[in-house]
Amino acid sequence: MNIPTVQLEKFFKKRNELITDLSIGKIDKISFLEKIMN
């Protein structure tokens, strides 16, 4: 699977922000998973 680097960078940036939100309790695990998938 060949994913453009820019898309990959956006994905990881978004994922890292969500992980931060999750760790401080701003969002729950279900919201986290939904946001990762979208």
Asked whether residue 3 carries a pLDDT value surpassing 80, the answer given is: no
Directed axis angle between helix 5-23 and helix 29-37, to 10°? 170
Asked whether residue 26 carries a pLDDT value surpassing 80, the answer given is: yes
Q: How far apart are CA 27 and CA 19, in angstroms?
A: 9
For residues 29 and 19, is the Cβ–Cβ distance under 8 A?
A: no
pTM equals: 0.61
Q: What is the pLDDT of residues 5-18, one digit of tens each?
A: 998 899 899 999 99
For residue 8 the two structure tokens come to: 């990959």
Q: How far apart are CA 24 and CA 3, in angstroms?
A: 31
Q: C-alpha angle 16/35/8, rounded to 5°?
A: 50
